[in-house]
Structure formats: C-alpha cells, structure tokens
C-alpha cells in the first residue's frame, strides 16, 4: 500500500518542477526581446526586414504548434516539456550567432514553434498535478509564467546594459535553463497524462459536433483574454501619449498596471476559483474589465485610464487557466489535443487584433479601436457558460473528508 505522505511529497515536488518549467517558458524568449535593437543593428536590417523576422515567431507557433497534441500523446508531457525547454534554450544560442537575415528568421520560427509546444506541455502537466491536488493551482502556475517573463526581460536588459556580448549572454541563459529543466524532469509525474483522469464517457471515431463546438467556443474565450492583453501591450502607451498627451514615463504605466495586476491576480486567484468556480470568477472579471475600460474611454483621463488597464489585467487574470482546465476536461479528447486547438485559435486572433485596432484607429481614432477591449469582455461574459461551475469533484472529496496534498 502506497504511503500517503510519500504520495503527497511526490505531488508537491511535481508542482514545484512544473512551476519551474512555467517560469522558464516565460523567461527564455523574454531574454531576447531587450536585445532586439542589437540584433537589428548587427545584421543591418531595415525595419521591414526586422519586422518580417519577428513575424516568423507567431508563424512558427501557429504552424508547428499544431503538432503539440501529437507529441504529448506519443511521449507524454513529462518527457516533452523538459525536452522542449532544453531545445528552446539551445535555440537561444542559434539566435545569438545568426549571421544573416534568413538564419535569424529561421531561428525565430523555431523559437515560436518550440514555445507553442512547450506551452501545451506545461499546461497539460500542470493540469495533471492540479487533479491530484483536487483544487485549483493552475492560476498560480500562470502567475509564475508571468514572473518568468519579467525575470527574463530583466536578464536581457541587464546584459544589454553591461554590454555583455550577445552570444555569451544567451549561451549563459541557455545553460542555466537547461540545467534547471534536467533537474525538474526528475520530479515530474510518471505514467501517461490520462492517469489521474476519472473514468468517464469517451468518443470513438469522428468527434461529435457538440464537442467540436465546445472546443471552438473555449478557443474564442481564450483568444479574447489574450487579445485584450495584446491590445494593452501594443496600444496603451500610444493612447496615453498621443490622445491623452502624457509624458513617456506616464505612458508606459498603463501596460505595467495591466501586467502587474494580472500577475497578482493569477498568484492569488486559486482559492477564489476553488471556492466559486471558473464560471463565476470569469463573469466577475469580464464585468470588471468591461465596465472599467468603458468608463475610461467615455471619460478620458490619464489616471483613470491607467487604473482601468490595471482592472482589465485583474479581470482577465484567470481566463487562460479557466479555458485550459475546461478544454482538458472535455470527454473524448486525448491529452493535449484541446489545448493545441485553443492555442491555434488564440494565435489566429492575435495576428488579426493589432492590424484591426490600427485600422479602426486610422479611421475613427484610437479610442474607438480600444473599444475592442470591452467588446472582448462582453464576449467572455457570453461564453462563460462553457467554463466550469463549482468543482463537484473537489466538493465531494471535501464532504468525504479526503485530504488534499
């Protein structure tokens, strides 16, 4: 008979290991971003050439990322997640030594591809660990990803400030992340990713149309969360600077407020989600984000706009984990498949969002373009029925007095 304490210890170690992989998933590529100007200057790239290079990242994520579900089913997230992290780290060096535009573009395409695969793998494994905890932990794991992205950006900015050679910087980061991934791999859960899934109805052959519709709607809900974040990242400083006439320092605070509130929301949301369920939390968050942004656009003011973007970040904090949890629980889908599909829908939406806001801004002004944020919040509100209500399995265990790890 397995000792309960040893099982609990193994589960906690698995949580720490997958949390590190979430951190690394956020930190690896963030190391490159602060050094974009150096890459552009070293290869003497025009703005158009560099823009096409950067665009190779989401293109790789969209095309090659579709293989993530196949890889998870074939080898399992416990193997693919650390292997992909190591490959991502090695590709950092490829970026650093790229001698020409086409080599750098290939490296960026590979970076996007590996990032998309790693994203599916770490979420699949994180959900596996969550099922053992019998309560929400995925929000905090996404919060760790956000911390990793900030940490990676700080690493890149510090290296650039110290004039550390690009190859040495990225090679050092690659070694650190590779060693960490190897250590983390020793503590991930063993066995197939379906091990902790309760027996239930399964589909045979062609997926039922209702199942496909559920996956599609969850993909749209996830996309609305990421589109909202992307709009804030791309346009908030432009809006504050050009439309509200703030200085450069003030212009950047809206994005900082959004990211900080989203990170804090993710780190502390698990207890709320466990208590009230993803559906109720998503409705409250979407309402908060939509009302705050609508008020800020109707009554434009720099301070209220920054506060509104912060409330938007807080409101969307749990949406990506909620959609991942919901699609992972759909009966009849192999592990990783639903996550791969909603990731693809999400990336298609991101590709369309920035030019759409730009077109609206050129035609009617940026305030109209930013109205896409409350529209996205309204969409989430309408699609919230696809998310979980209270976790019945968790309540059953609690009523039976079964302890969680």
- Does one domain contain both 223 and 175? no
Q: Note whether 227 and 356 are within 8 A (CB).
A: no
Examine residue 190 and state whether it is found in any structural domain, yes or no.
Answer: no
- Does one domain contain both 145 and 215? no
If phi over 0 gives left and psi between -120 and 50 gives alpha, with beta otherwise, what is residue 40? alpha
Examine residue 342 and state whether it is found in any structural domain, yes or no.
Answer: yes
- Does one domain contain both 124 and 22? yes
Percent pLDDT > 70 in the chain is 91
- Does one domain contain both 13 and 91? yes
Q: Note whether 122 and 148 are within 8 A (CB).
A: no
How many CB atoms lie under 10 A from the CB of residue 398? Answer: 15
Measuring CA to CA, which residue among 84, 90, 89 is closest to residue 188? 84
Q: Is the sign of the CA dihedral 71, 177, 53, 99 positive or negative?
A: negative
- Does one domain contain both 131 and 218? no
- Does one domain contain both 178 and 224? no
What is the full DSSP assignment across 47-78?
Answer: HHHHHHHHHHHHHHHHHGGGGHHHHHHHH-HH
Helices within 98-208 (DSSP H only): 101-133, 138-161, 166-185
Q: What is the CATH number of the domain that holds 244?
A: 1.20.1250.20
Examine residue 192 and state whether it is found in any structural domain, yes or no.
Answer: no
pTM across the whole model = 0.81
Q: Residue 323: CB partners within 8 Å, gap ≥ 6? A: 218, 219, 221, 222, 225, 342, 387
Examine residue 177 and state whether it is found in any structural domain, yes or no.
Answer: yes
- Does one domain contain both 45 and 179? yes
- Does one domain contain both 250 and 170? no
Q: Note whether 347 and 65 are within 8 A (CB).
A: yes
Least confident among 4-8, 158-162, 369-373: 4-8
More confident residue, 358 or 120: 120
More confident residue, 169 or 194: 169
Percent pLDDT > 90 in the chain is 50
Examine residue 308 and state whether it is found in any structural domain, yes or no.
Answer: yes
Residue-wise pLDDT tens digits, 67-93: 988 999 899 999 999 999 999 999 999
pLDDT for residue 202 is more than 50: no
Residue-wise pLDDT tens digits, 217-226: 999 999 999 8
- Domain with 157 in it: 4-185
Q: Note whether 88 and 121 are within 8 A (CB).
A: no
pLDDT for residue 256 is more than 90: no
Examine residue 132 and state whether it is found in any structural domain, yes or no.
Answer: yes
- Does one domain contain both 233 and 155? no
Q: Quickly tell me which residue has 């099982």 as its tokens.
A: 7
pLDDT at 124: 93
Total tally of structural domains belonging to the chain: 2
Residue-wise pLDDT tens digits, 332-365: 777 788 888 888 888 888 878 878 888 888 889 9
Examine residue 257 and state whether it is found in any structural domain, yes or no.
Answer: yes
Examine residue 20 and state whether it is found in any structural domain, yes or no.
Answer: yes
What is the full DSSP assignment across 68-107?
Answer: HHHHHHHH-HHHHHHHHHHHHHHHHHHHHH--SHHHHHHH
- Does one domain contain both 244 and 317? yes
- Does one domain contain both 60 and 104? yes
37 — pLDDT class (breaks 50, 70, 90)? confident
pLDDT at 221: 92
- Does one domain contain both 246 and 360? yes
Measuring CA to CA, which residue among 339, 322, 341, 316 is closest to residue 386? 322
């Amino acid at each position: 008979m397995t000792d309960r304490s040893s099982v609990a210890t193994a589960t906690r170690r698995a949580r720490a290991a997958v949390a590190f992989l979430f951190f690394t998933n956020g930190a690896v590529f963030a190391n490159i971003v602060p050094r974009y100007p150096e890459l552009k200057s070293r290869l003497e790239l025009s703005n158009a050439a560099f823009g096409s290079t950067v665009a190779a990242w989401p293109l790789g994520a969209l095309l090659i990322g579709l293989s993530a579900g196949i890889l998870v089913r074939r080898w399992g997230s416990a193997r693919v997640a650390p292997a992909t992290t190591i490959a991502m780290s090695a590709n950092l060096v490829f970026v650093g030594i790229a001698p020409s535009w086409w080599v750098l573009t290939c490296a960026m395409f590979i970076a996007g591809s590996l990032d998309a695969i790693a994203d599916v793998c770490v979420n699949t494994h994180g959900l596996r660990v969550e099922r053992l905890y019998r309560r929400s932990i995925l929000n905090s794991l996404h919060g760790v990803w956000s911390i990793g992205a900030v940490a990676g950006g700080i690493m890149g900015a510090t290296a650039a400030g110290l004039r550390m050679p690009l190859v040495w910087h990225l090679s050092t980061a690659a070694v650190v992340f590779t060693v960490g991934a190897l250590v983390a791999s020793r503590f991930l859960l063993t066995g197939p990713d379906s091990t902790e899934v309760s027996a239930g109805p399964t589909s045979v052959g062609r997926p039922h149309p209702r199942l496909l519709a559920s996956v599609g709607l969850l993909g749209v809900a996830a996309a609305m969360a990421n589109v909202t974040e992307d709009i804030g990242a791309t346009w908030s400083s432009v809006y504050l600077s050009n439309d509200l006439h703030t200085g450069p320092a003030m212009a950047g605070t809206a994005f900082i407020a959004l990211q900080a509130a989203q990170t804090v929301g993710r780190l502390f949301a698990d207890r709320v989600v466990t208590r009230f369920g993803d559906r109720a939390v998503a409705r409250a968050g979407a309402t908060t984000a939509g009302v705050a942004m609508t008020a800020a656009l109707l009554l434009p003011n720099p301070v209220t706009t920054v506060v509104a973007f912060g409330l938007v970040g807080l409101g969307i904090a749990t949406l990506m984990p909620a959609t991942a949890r919901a699609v992972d629980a759909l009966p009849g889908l192999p592990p990783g498949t639903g996550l791969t599909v909603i990731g693809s829908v999400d990336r298609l939406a991101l590709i369309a969002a920035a030019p759409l806001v730009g077109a609206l801004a050129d035609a009617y002004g940026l305030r109209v373009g930013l109205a896409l944020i409350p529209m996205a919040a309204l969409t989430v509100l309408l699609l919230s029925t696809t998310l979980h209500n209270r976790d019945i399995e968790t309540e059953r265990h609690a009523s039976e007095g079964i302890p969680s790890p």
